[in-house]
Every structure is written in C-alpha cells, then in structure tokens.
Amino acid sequence: MLQKTNVVYVLFTLILMSGIIGCKNKHAAVKKEIVKVPEEMDDQITENIKAVLQFAHDNNGKINDSSKLYLFNVVNSFYDNNNYHNIWSRKEKWMPLADSMFDFIEHSKYYGLYPRDYHFNELTALRKKIIEDTLAKKDAIVWTKADLLLSDAFMKTLRDLKEGRLLPETLSITRKPKYIDSFFIKNLTEARNIASLTNLFNSVEPANFRYQSLKNLVKDFVDNMDTTRYQFIVYPQKDSFLLIKNLQKRLVQSGLAKPLDTLPDSVLLSKEIKKYQSANKLRKDGKFGPKLIESLNNFDQEKFRRIAITLDRYKLMPDTLPLRYVWVNLPSYFLELWDNDTLIIRSKVIIGKPETRTPVLTSAITDMVTYPQWTIPESIIKKDILPALKKDPGYLAAKGFNLVDSKGDIVDPYTIKWSKYSKGIPWKIMQGSGDDNALGVLKFNFNNPYSVYLHDTNQRYLFQNSDRGLSHGCVRVQKWEQLAFYIARNDSLNTTKEQKLAYDVDSIKKWLSNRDRKRIFIKNRLPLFIEYFSCEARDDKLVIYKDIYNDDAMLAEKYFANK
C-alpha cells in the first residue's frame, strides 16, 4: 500500500495535483511538468504516479474532474507491486504494448464491448497531443495520466471479457467472481513481455462454443453496421405522452414524418404510422402495437446492444458444460440435446407467455411419467379457473377437470360457494390422463421451485406457429418421444447389470401403447439448461430473435442506456 508522505512531499503533491488534476476547482490553472532530458522522464512519471494514486485514493478513484479509474484498487495494487514504474512508455516513446492496447480498445466492438468504456476518448486525445505537440511529448503529466488510464483500461477489459458487465442478481442467479486482484496483477505483469495483447484477452473469454461461434460473426456485423443513433422506444410504456413523443421522433428519423414543435394529433400520427407500415411491409392499420415497435427498434445500434448482452450472458455460464445435456433457448423456441459435442435432437418447443414466462434455470431431468395427470398450479387456478367457477361450476367438467380434496376424493363443484374464495381454494384441481390431457402422454420432471416441467401436449398443431410463447410456463416439446427414447438408451448404456435397470425403450413403447401411467426414475440424470439468449450463430449466420420477455430491453436500459 502507499506509504504516508512527509509534509514537504504533501505540499509537492498538492502543487502537482493542481497541475495534473485541477483538484476540485475547475478554474485551477493547469500546469505542465516539462522534462528536458528523455532519460529523466520515467523517473518523473514514477513520482507522479505515486502522487496521483494517493489523490485518487482520497477521491473515490478520481484522478481529475473528468477522469476516474474504474478499478482503482487493482490498479493501485499493481503499481504498488511495481514500485510505481510506468509500463506503457519508455523515454518519451510508446511501448509496443501500448500500441496493442490502443488498437484493441479501438476495435473492442468486435468483442461486444464499447470503446468509450475503456477511456478511449481521453487516451485518443492524449495520444494525438503527444504526436502533434512537441512540448506535450516532454510533459510528464501527460505521460502519467496516459499510463494510469491504459492500466485501468487493461484491467477493465480483462474483467469485462472474463466476467461481463451484467450483475448476477440482475439475472436471478448468484455466482462468485472468477477472479481476485492477483489475477489482474499477474496478467498485466506478464503482458509487459509481449507485443500483442490479443491472444491474452482471447484466453480469458469463455471457451463455450456458442459464445465463440457468435463472437466470430461480430466483426463482420460491426464493420457493416449503420452507426446512426435512432430513438429506442420502450413498449409497453405507462407514460403515453413519452411513448408518442419517442414514436414521433423515431418516425422523423425514418424519413417518413416531418419534425413538429408539438405532438401530432391522432389523425396525423396514424397517417405517419401507415407510411412506415407500408414502407416496411407491415399490416397497414395506422396503429402502434408490438409489431410496429419491434420493427422501429430493429436498427443496428440496438442489435449490437443485444449482441453485447448475449455475449455477457455466456460469461455467467459455467466454464464447462456436461458431456450430455438438454439446452432450451427460450427466444429461439427450440430445445437441443447434446452428446459429446454432437447435436442429437433439435426440437421445436412452446414456452410461457410473457405474462406467465418460463423461468431461466439449471437442473437435471430426474424422471419421466407416461400418461400423466395434471395437477393445475395455484397461479392458474387463481387467475383463470376460479373466475370461471364463479360464473359456472360446470366449467370443470367441460374442461375434463376434477376437484379433489386432501384425501384424493372427488368433490362436487356445485356444492361449493365459490363467491367466498378470491386468493385460492383448499382443493386441488386435476386433469386425468389421456389424449386430451394438457400434458399429452409423457412429461419430464426436474427439480425446480417453479413447478414447471417439459412435456408433450394435446395441442400439437401449435408447433406450426412462428411465435410459440403460448403456455403457462412449462415447456412443451415437439420431439418428446425422441428425447424419452434417448434417455432410456443412455440409461441402458451407462447402467451396470448389478444396478438392474427397470425400463428400456421397449418398456416405454409398451406403456404408451397400453395407456399405462408409469413413473420412470432415471439412473443417469440428464442436465438441463433453460436459458435466454436472443442472439446466436446458426449455420455461420447471425440470428437475432425477438426479445420475447423484454429481458434484453431491461438490461440494455440498465447497462447500455447511452451507448
């Protein structure tokens, strides 16, 4: 840690800070510190670094009114271990390491990062100043600031490539950071011996093939993207005035509406919307709704934010995935079964509606049930069934449901005074097994606190829909039979004779044929990941899915609002 300075050194530091920092007085004169002999420059920078870090320590990481070290503690620790020597320059010349860092920051969008998050504007100005101003080249204050900002940029780049920028609690998960201060210090110490930082930065990124496949497509997207900053429209929006204001601004940006000093009336707004709808092959109704807003928000800057969020989501995943696992990517409406890096099954799925969303979770399939009964969740009873029962107790029979008490006995719904219940009921509502059951003829159970599962469905025609957010939260699987048979074969291959496996593929076929209700416990539980990745690489092409639950919009507003 920094040592306490004597009174003379404190006075020197305060004088120096008035030059380097301007202190907190924005009107303080900015002083230069010209070093005439290049061989003496590094020693002066070392003294300055120590003084500036002391100032930053006392000022929440700030080194002046406009610059702050994002990761002050690790930057401070690094320089403390390095005796405060500068590392990015020598004798008024940039080291190759600095050139590599400048280049990486400039092209950091290829990694889903934003250059300005890594002091890009300040460093570019300092670099230009040193090139164009011969006096600035001899100014130790300029070199000092550049050294500190480059070190901070290095540390932040390292952290953001490894951990991402999304806080785990934002995604309803908790994971400990994969790094400690020594991780940063070790990497920057070792980096001094290399000319290019690209390989080092690549080494800390996720090895996940989905991450790598997506990142490999980002460069081409960035090189060809339209960098125009369009108005993003939050929808739904409680503030109707703000919604119309932003909608009008976005329509003006599209070139299909004229700027106005006031908000347009409903007739003019409808006319402008129709122009946009016609130009973009949307239904020409003159109304604003989800389809219109989705189209208006589908610009390249917003797509890049979605890419950045997706890459960061992967950084919150485990470093390695199991040998065999089931992967459900909610925005894609698809389930995948992977075995030893080989895609075995790719199946359409139906997932929860936005108001009854399917949760993101990690679990493992524990058992399967043929011809299952459906115990209806309390949330559905409260929202949908109870209001229907108040109107007509015959609703249950019409839907094929039974009212069941704690002993398992069927209760006559006509004997209940439904009007006195509002928050729930003291009975279960169940649907018997059969072809009409909402779960279909087979379901897959896995431990989770949300009472959701994978299952077949009695509405298989819905898999034809392109938008398949239709369920109450469970995941309906089109290729449920293939998944069940794979699990059976996997158990057969990985179970010894002594373990006496109680089922196989033929058993499942027989139980299904006979309409038998059987619970099948799986010996080798199959890991399950239900995730939310709105961008992915498919067949070497970038695919961006609809943000069905507005998760990306929420994260973009929180972390990348002004990017």
Instruction: Tell me the catalytic residues.
Output: 455, 474
CA distance 441 to 433: 8
Angle at 393 between CA 389 and CA 396, to 5 degrees: 80
- Give the span between the Cα atoms of 534 and 319, in whole angstroms: 20
- Sequence-ordered list of residues with C-beta below 8 angstroms from that of 126, at least 6 positions apart, any chain: 142, 145, 146, 149
* Burial of 449 from C-beta contacts in 10 A (0-12 / 13-18 / 19+): exposed
Q: Are 294 and 496 in contact (CB under 8 A)?
A: no
Q: What is d(CA 100, CA 106) in angstroms, rounded to the nearest whole number?
A: 10
- Structure tokens, 276: 């946009």
Q: Could you tell me if 350 and 499 are in contact, meaning their C-beta atoms sit under 8 angstroms apart? A: no
For residue 110, count other CB atoms closer than 10 A to its CB: 16
CA 535 to chain centre: 10
Strand 541-544 relative to strand 535-538, pairing: antiparallel
Q: Report the alpha-carbon distance of residue 554 to residue 234 in Å, rounded.
A: 9
CA–CA separation, 74 and 275 (whole Å):
54
Per-residue HEC secondary structure of 480-518 comes to: HHHHHHHHHHHHHHCCCHHHCCCCCHHHHHHHHHHCCCE
What phi and psi values does residue 419 have, to the nearest 5 degrees? Answer: -65, -20
Listed in sequence order, the residues at least 6 apart from 526 whose beta carbon sits closer than 8 Å to its beta carbon are 324, 325, 326, 364, 365, 487, 490
DSSP letter assigned to residue 167: -
Distance CA 561, CA 563 (A): 6
- Two tokens, residue 540: 């070497």
| Spatial distance between the Cα atoms of 30 and 125, rounded to a whole number of angstroms | 16
Q: Which residue has the tokens 């416990």?
A: 521
C-alpha distances out from residue 307 to 297, 519, 547, Å: 14, 42, 12
Please state, in angstroms and rounded to a whole number, the distance separating the CA atoms of residues 160 and 156: 6
The first and second tokens of residue 31, run together, are 């002083």
* Tokens encoding 363: 């679990």
Q: DSSP readout, 226-247?
A: ----PPP--SS-S-HHHHHHHH
**Would you say 65 and 28 are in contact if contact means Cβ atoms under 8 Å apart?**
no
User: CA angle at residue 129 from 128 to 131, to 5 degrees?
Assistant: 65
